[in-house]
Structure 1
Amino acid sequence: MSEAPVKIKRTGKIRNRLLIFIVPIVVITIVVLVFIASTLSKKRMSELATANLNSSISNQADNIVSWLDENLQFFTTAKQTIEGLNPNDSDLQTILDSYYGFNKNSPEGLYIGTASGEFIKSTNSILEEADPTSSEWYKQGITRVNMQYGTAYKNAEGENVISASGIVNYGDDTIKVLSADVTLDKISIIVNSGVKMDKASSFLVDTNDNTILAHRDKSLVSTTLSADNSSKLLSGVAESIANEDYDTKEIGTYVVAFKQIEGTDWILVSYIAQDIILSSVQELANYLLITGVIAVIIIILLILYVVSRVIAPLAGITKSIHSMSEGDFTINVESESNDEIGVMSGKIAEFVESMRHMLSSISEESEKLKQESETSDTVSKNMYDASQSQAEAMQQLNDTVDQLAVAVGDIAENATTLATVVADTRENSERADESMKETVKISQKGREDMEKLSHAMEGIQAANSKLVDSINEVGTASEEITNIVSMIAEIAEETNLLSLNASIEAARAGEAGKGFAVVATQIGKLAQTSSESATNISNLISDVHRLIDEAVGQANASAESIERNSELIRVAVDTFDQIFNNIQASNDCIKEMIRDVQKVDDVATNVAAISEEQAASADEILATSQNMVEQAKNISRHSEDVANNSHELASTSDTLSSHVQQFKI
């Protein structure tokens, strides 16, 4: 036979394998650290930018409120001056002329509109109002006692202004409104140039009609914000204003902050692009990425150096293992360190020494094996002859056990059938016992219900007796009432006679007895009414007597019926007691029968179990005898094989000796 070609595996270096595992881990770790640092920096920069934007918009809002309050204070002072001086027409004109150009934010000065349609202004003012009562400033001012700002609007010259107006009281009681226009140019300057945050922008919106009052883009001033606007920023701001959601948020690519201007319906909106906020974060991320790449390179170089120093002793160990694979155990392995590699070198040295002793022992034992193989050849021949005789005897025993197993199997089958029948009988008895228990419970419940009904009938009988007594008491009371009514009738008759006598005496008295005659007449009428009432009461009491007699008769009939029903219920209770006692006795008999069936079931089960065990034992004996026959045959075959193998063992010992001699020890 030709030997199969040996497949040579390609070998690699441990250093390269370590680098393959370590370098990706290092790179992934640095990338994760750079990502985490960038994410945290982005979050922190966004928080700082949001805080700066909120601070900036708050500062702008404070400046706008301060500017508005400054002008409003000026107008309030002017109103108080006019009311304090209570001027006539000429003095009023002088006062209005003095305020013309006095406040640079309101160059046209103050003006007044009256309910009669009169418009009073400074002599130099170019303002004109044909019907001041229909103007915005008049409609807003007529509802306020103090000077306050209204909504922004365009004046006759097309400028966006806001009027501070209020009712002024001087002279007569005619309604007059003092007002002054304030241009929004100063507010536009505050909105456009008052942003503290670099590269941020702002604009001012009137929430009454979503008009933009101030914006860096002048083309958007006086336009109306709408959710349908093509600009995502403007449409998002319009939607937030509509929902009254003034929290700082991201709209499109911008971070947007909102601030309500105190005392007005204005909303100041400040925004900055997210790219501007994150530009420094991107720069930091680039620096971190470059630093990470440099760190990876340095770490790889350090790993190469460390790994090379650590695994250098493995080269000598590899050379020693290669020599051992070629059968050379004359090598000397030295341990140069106390780490895992040093321990490996020591263990290899111990293995080399152990192999030397083992090979020497194998050479000695192979000689002994050759001698023993010759002895076993003689013994195996003797075993073969004995096993032939044993196989014939075991075959006869197997036939006898087979017949015994068949007989025991029949007994086990009959015992199992008996156990099944007894088990079915026990189950039927248990079901009958359960049914009888249910019957006992039902009869017990029926007896208890009848006892409750008997008690209830006794209560009804007692209540009916009380009712009869109560009705009799009512009859007695009605008789007393009849006596009282009779007495009232007699008193009425006597009173009637007295009134008649009094009338006669009053007639005899003449003019002096007329008053007494009237009284006597009234007493006669009262007596007549009492007599009639007594008669009616007497009739009603007669009806009550009749109803009471009927009620007493019905109550007595009910009492007799209740007595008869109570007797029937007592008979039914006695009958239920007899039924319950009979059922209880039947239940005891069924329980006794179940216990007897249980005993029979246990006996049948034991017989079946014993029969099955005997059958199983017979099967096991049969199987054992068959195995013994097979074993006897196997012994015969094996003894013959042993005789043959003893010859091969002798040749194998020669081969083993030749193989051992190939190793160098």
Structure 2
Amino acid sequence: MSKQNQGEQEVMTKKKFGIKAKLLLFTLPIIAFAFLLVAFLSYNFAKDKISVKTRELLQASAQSSENKILTWQRDTLRIVDTALETMQNLKMNKEEVLAYEKFFLETNEYFPNGIYIIQDDGNLLDASGWEPDNDQRESDYYKIGLEHSDKLYFGEAYIDALTNGFVVTASRHMDNIAGVGAVANVDINLNTLAEVVKEMKVVGNGDAFILDTANDTILAHKNEKMVGKTAKDAGDSFYKQVASLAKSKKSQVTSLASKDGDYMVSIEPIDDTSWVMVCRGLEKNIYSDVRTLAIILSIVSIVIVIIISLVLTILIRRITNPIKRLTDTIVAVTNGDFTTDIEVKGNDEVTVMASNTREFLQVMRNALASIAKVSDNIDMQAKDSTQIAKTLHESASGQSEAMTSLRGNLDELIESIAVIAENATKLATVVADTSDAGERAMNNMAETMKAADDGRQNMKSVTVSMSEIQSGMSDLEKSITNVGGAAVKINEITATIREIAEETNLLSLNASIEAARAGEVGRGFAVVATQIKSLAETSAEAADQISNLIDSVNDLINETVEQSHQSVGQITAGVERVYEASDQFNNIFDGITQTNSIIQDIIQQIHDANDVAANMAAVTEEQSASAEVIGNTALNVQELTDIVTGNSADVEKDSENLTNMADSLEKQISAFKI
């Protein structure tokens, strides 16, 4: 394939991705993205606004229904509270209370069974005639009433067996009903809750229900089939989620999933009860208008993008036509045809570019003609340089081989001298280390001799001390024996004191007897006799204690005497060993003295060898340094020779390359038409 055909093919390929296509590919996605972004932001903005308004409406609906229930609750309980206050303030007896209760039987649609009272002593005051089988003080509503004395409080709701509807018992403790504290109760039906729930209109075609958080039971629901079911048995996890959130007793609006879809839910606790009002609306119904708006915005955006695309295509085509003609000229120049010309028409940026390109073509024609002449001159000079470079390279190669051989011989000489220097240095180091070790050994021997002399003197002192200890132990043995004799004498004296105490005791006994015979006159003498008797008993006890202590001391003295006998024998044996050790120490001291003399002679000989080794090491180190200087010089010469060789080879290659480049340049220039 020719160069011109190849260029035309490239142009055709580039046309597929020309400026027009690039502009369209660049601008259209941006415009489309901008419109879609606007549609998306509009959708989200509208959705957020509707979400906020819906939450407010749900909460308002729940609060409105809660207020209705609270109003009904307060109105109903106000009637009962008024009746209970009347019973207590008028101090009615049982008959009057029962008569007063009859006024409320079947008179109020919310508590048709009236009021019944459980007194703290267990009596039941109920005008309806109800007689329970068990003690009502064990009931839940009685216990709840005990905890609330300020107002009636609702317990858990339950299904009444007669009406099959939900009923809740309100209870309150009164201080004085018929003279006794009591819990007043009233059973209130919850039909009103169902009416309130059914009347509610919730946003998004939603509904509402009331849940008792005490047992998670649905008290009221638009779907009557759900009434009475627990959140667990409702058949939808939605109710479990509501029951879990309602435990917090806080007003809240949130989104929860169910089998019908996602619900927006408002949970409002009802004051003074365990109930919560729940309003919910399906989000797909709430946001249906927003989704329709999003679809309309998307369609409008697509139509606008298509219109803009058509307008852009027409504008870009008009703008790119001059550029296309300029591109065709540039392609021809790229293929080597500098004979072509460019039409300059108009006054925009493209016209300026065409005019400059035209001038560039004229400059390139002149430059190519000059390059052709210079190329011929370069070719001739390159051939001459190649011949000179070959001659220089051959000379440098021979010199490099000779320097390599010289360098090998010098390396062997340097290695030999280095080995000698290293061995001489090691010898000097070993001798020096040996000399230092000898000095330390001589110093240690001097210290050892001094320590041996001190030890000999100390052994003499030990011998004298051991003799003194032996004499002292003999004196101690005698002293301990004397102490034992003294203890025996103390024991005899203690026995005498004991006998005197016994005789004194007998005398005090006789004195007491005589004082008793003397009657009133001898009473003072009897006191003295008693004191004498006490003193005698105390003396006898002290004598016994002293005797026991003396016996213990005698035992210790006997043990000490026995141990002192053993110690004297051990000390005598020790004295004999000390005499033997003293003789051996004298012999050791004589041997150390002789060893010291021998070591001093060895140290002197080591000093002489150290001087010889140091001189030898110094001489070999000087020879090694000189050899290294010679080797480095030879290495530098060899390196310079190698550099010259390499440079000459590079020059030869560069000359050959220059010749080839000159030939190539001539061929390339011949391809241009000028």
Once the 2 structures are TM-superposed, how far is the Cα of residue 35 of structure 1 from its aligned partner? 3.7
Whether the aligned pair in 2 keeps the contact of 1:208 and 1:265 (CA below 8 Å) is yes
Corresponding residue for 1:404? 406
Offset of 1:351 from its aligned partner?
1.2
Give the one of 525, 539, 556 matched to 2:533.
525
Query: Within 5 Å, which residues of 2 pair with 1:158-173?
Result: 158-166=164-172, 172-173=178-179
What is the aligned partner in structure 2 of residue 457 from structure 1? none
User: TM-score, normalization: structure 2?
Assistant: 0.63
Q: Which amino acid aligns with 2:546?
A: S
Contact persistence 1:111–1:180 (CA under 8 A): yes
Provide the rounded CA distance (Å) in 2 between the counterparts of 1:615 and 1:16. Answer: 72
Structure-1 residue corresponding to 2:306: 297
Q: Is 2:367 the partner of 1:358?
A: yes
How far is 1:80 from its partner? 1.2
What's the counterpart of residue 514 of structure 2? 507
Indicate yes or no: 2:196 matched with 1:190. Answer: yes
Q: Structure 2 matches for 1:397-436, cutoff 5 A?
A: 397=399, 400-411=402-413, 414=416
Instruction: Give the C-alpha shift of residue 77 in structure 1.
Output: 0.5
Verify the 8 A CA contact 1:422 1:600 in the aligned structure 2.
Answer: no
TM-superposed deviation, 1:131: 2.1
Matches within 5 A, 1:239-258: 248-252=254-258, 253-258=262-267
Mark the CA change 1:281 to 1:531 in structure 2 (over 3 Å): closer, same or farther.
same
1:209 to 201, 204, 215: 215
Deviations 1:590-617 (CA, angstroms, capped at 9, x unpaired): xx99xx9999999899789768746754
Q: Aligned partners of 1:419 and 1:221: how far apart in 2?
A: 113
- Aligned equivalents of 1:651, 1:56: Cα separation in 2: 93
* Helix, strand or coil at the partner of 1:527: helix
Is the CA contact 1:163–1:180 (under 8 Å) kept in the aligned structure 2? yes
User: How far does residue 255 in structure 1 lie from its aligned partner after superposition?
Assistant: 3.0
Using the size of structure 1 for normalisation, the TM-score is 0.64
1:535 aligns with 2:529: no
Amino acid corresponding to residue 521 of structure 1 in structure 2: A
Q: 1:75 to 1:141 in 2, by over 3 A?
A: farther
8 Å CA contact 1:212, 1:222 repeated in 2: yes
Question: Alpha-carbon deviations, 1:454-499, whole Å to 9, x = none?
Answer: xxxxxxxxxxxxxxxxxxxxxxxxx9xx99xx99x98997998699
* Aligned mates of 1:259, 1:423 — CA distance in 2: 102
**Contact 2:329–2:341, Cα closer than 8 Å, also in 1:** no
Deviations 1:79-107 (A, max 9, x none): 11122334456654553343345544334
The CA deviation at 1:271 is 2.2
Helix, strand or coil for the counterpart of 2:280?
strand
CA distance in 1, matches of 2:622, 2:137: 115
- Taking a change above 3 Å as real, the CA distance of residues 638 and 283 of structure 1, as seen in their structure-2 partners, is closer
* Equivalence for 2:78: 73
1:400 Cα deviation after fit = 3.8
Which residue number corresponds to residue 460 of structure 1?
A: none
Q: Secondary structure at the match of 2:287?
A: helix
Q: Would you say the 8 A contact 1:151–1:163 is kept in 2?
A: yes
Q: Return the letter of the residue paired with 2:338.
A: G
Q: Distance in 2 between matches of 1:154 and 1:652?
A: 110
CA distance in 2, matches of 1:17, 1:524: 140
The percent of aligned pairs where both chains have the same amino acid is 19
- Equivalent residue for 1:59? 64
* 1:17 CA displacement: 2.1
For residues 248-296 of structure 1, give each alpha carbon's deviation from its aligned partner in whole angstroms, at most 9, with x where no partner exists. Answer: 4423322334333332232333322221233233133224323432442
Are residues 1:285 and 2:294 paired? yes
Aligned amino acid, residue 337 of structure 2: E
Cα 1:420–1:68 change in 2 (3 A) is: farther
Q: Are 1:426 and 1:601, in contact at CA under 8 Å, matched by a contact in 2?
A: no
Pick closer, same or farther for the CA change 1:193–1:314 going to 2, 3 Å: same
Preserved contact between residue 52 and residue 197 of structure 1 (Cα < 8 Å): yes
SS across alignment from 1:513: coil
In structure 1, C-alpha distance between the alignment counterparts of 2:669 and 2:41, rounded to whole Å: 70
> For residue 339 of structure 2, what is the aligned residue in structure 1?
328
Distance 2:540 2:73 in 1: 96
How far residue 214 of structure 1 moved from its aligned partner, in angstroms, is 0.7
In the alignment, residue 72 of structure 1 is paired with which amino acid? L
Determine helix, strand or coil for the equivalent of 1:99.
Answer: coil
SS at match of 2:208: strand
Please show how residues 223-622 of structure 1 align to structure 2 within 5 Å.
223-226=229-232, 229-238=234-243, 248-252=254-258, 253-301=262-310, 303-304=312-313, 307-308=316-317, 311=320, 313-315=322-324, 317-318=326-327, 320-321=329-330, 324=333, 326-328=337-339, 333=344, 336-337=347-348, 341=350, 344-345=353-354, 347-358=356-367, 361=370, 369=377, 397=399, 400-411=402-413, 414=416, 500=507, 504=511, 507=514, 510-539=518-547, 542=550, 543=552, 613=632, 616-617=635-636, 620=639
Q: Which moved more, 1:288-297 or 1:74-83?
A: 288-297
Paired letter, 1:131 = P
1: distance between equivalents of 2:619 and 2:199? 111
8 Å CA contact 2:246–2:269 kept in 1: the answer is: no
Letter in 1 for 2:519: E
User: 2-side partners of 1:288 and 1:176: how far apart?
Assistant: 71
1:129 — aligned with what? 130
Q: CA deviation at 1:65?
A: 2.8
Contact in 2 for aligned 1:96/1:110 (Cα 8 Å): yes
Structure 2 CA distance for aligned equivalents of residues 322 and 515 of structure 1: 160
Quick check: 1:101–1:109 contact (8 Å CA) kept in 2? yes
Between the aligned partners of 2:101 and 2:514, the Cα distance in structure 1 is 103
Other structure's SS at 2:130 match: coil
Q: Look up the SS of the partner of 2:294 in the other structure.
A: helix
Tell me the CA shift for residue 202 of structure 1.
Answer: 1.7
- 208, 219, 224: which one aligns with 2:225: 219
Cα distance in 1 between the residues matched to 2:393 and 2:204: 111
**Secondary structure at 1:214 match in 2:** strand
Counterpart amino acid of residue 193 in structure 2 = I
Deviation at 1:618, TM superposition (A): 6.5
C-alpha contact (below 8 Å) 1:212/1:223 kept by paired residues: yes
Q: How many residues align?
A: 565
Match of 2:465 in 1: none
Compute the displacement of 1:48 (Å): 4.3
Please give the alpha-carbon distance, in whole angstroms, between the structure 2 residues aligned to 1:418 and 1:91.
139
Distance 1:302 1:164 in 2: 79
Gaps of 5+ in 2: 435-485, 576-580, 586-598
Q: Pick closer, same or farther for the CA change 1:46–1:427 going to 2, 3 Å.
A: farther
Is the alpha carbon distance of 1:50 and 1:332 closer, same or farther for their aligned partners in structure 2, counting shifts above 3 Å? closer
**What RMSD in Å do the two structures reach over aligned CA positions?**
6.1
Q: Mark the CA change 1:185 to 1:5 in structure 2 (over 3 Å): closer, same or farther.
A: same
SS in 1 for 2:185: strand
